[in-house]
A = this chain, B = another copy of it.
């Protein structure tokens, strides 16, 4: 019937518009030089639409960034899930998660940032979320937390991970450990970043065994 059809077509049309804004946003994020934030006007121009439309579909710049961030996380979680699925034991899957996520969070060396490789702008927005909008931040992180929590609890179940480390709060902690270590570790220490593969290996070494020597 006509009503449904017209609703549908309207929805499709607006989704198309929303999507064009999102695409423009990602393009700008990927092409901007380090740290450079985009302006709403730039998004509008690049998407070939108007300011009017932008504010019709997004309550503000914040909403656009939130949508971009959401999609970035979702996409990252998907990629990780594929990677993890390749391994056969819970411990290997966990290790895979840690090392792969670490790689994804490493700052892009030359510029080719992707949805899985958070750009400085998204990273900074992530901060704003985490400090000022706890609700939204938690919601956005759900896909990642859920995946890691599952991976962790599988490992606990077969006894390769201590049972203390099963909850989602632990998952959150480990995520932040990996993410920020990858992103900022070398900057904080002021040392040159090393080769990603061995760095990821050390990350796993740290997460899995800690820094203290084995008790005799």
A131 touches B123 (CB 8 A): yes
* Segment at the interface with B among A1-9, A17-25, A163-171: A163-171
Q: Which residues of B contact A202 (CB under 8 A)?
A: 164
Asked if A59 is an interface residue, CB under 8 A from chain B, the answer is no
Known: A137-B187, A176-B180. A212 touches B160 (CB 8 A): yes
The DSSP consensus for interface residues of chain A is helix
Asked if A31 is an interface residue, CB under 8 A from chain B, the answer is no
A residues neighboring B (CB under 8 Å): 34-35, 91, 120, 123-124, 127-128, 130-132, 134, 137-139, 141-142, 145, 152, 159-162, 164-165, 167-177, 179-181, 183-191, 194, 202, 205-215
Copies of this chain in its oligomeric complex: 2
Q: Which residues of B contact A173 (CB under 8 A)?
A: 181, 185, 188-189, 206
Q: Which residues of B contact A131 (CB under 8 A)?
A: 34-35, 120, 123-124, 183
Report Cα–Cα, A142/B190, bound state, in Å.
8
Q: Which residues of B contact A164 (CB under 8 A)?
A: 202, 205
Report Cα–Cα, A161/B127, bound state, in Å.
32
CB pairs A–B below 8 angstroms (23 shown): A34-B131, A120-B131, A124-B124, A124-B131, A127-B127, A138-B188, A159-B213, A164-B205, A165-B206, A167-B189, A167-B191, A168-B191, A169-B194, A171-B189, A173-B181, A173-B188, A173-B206, A176-B184, A177-B177, A179-B180, A180-B180, A207-B210, A214-B214
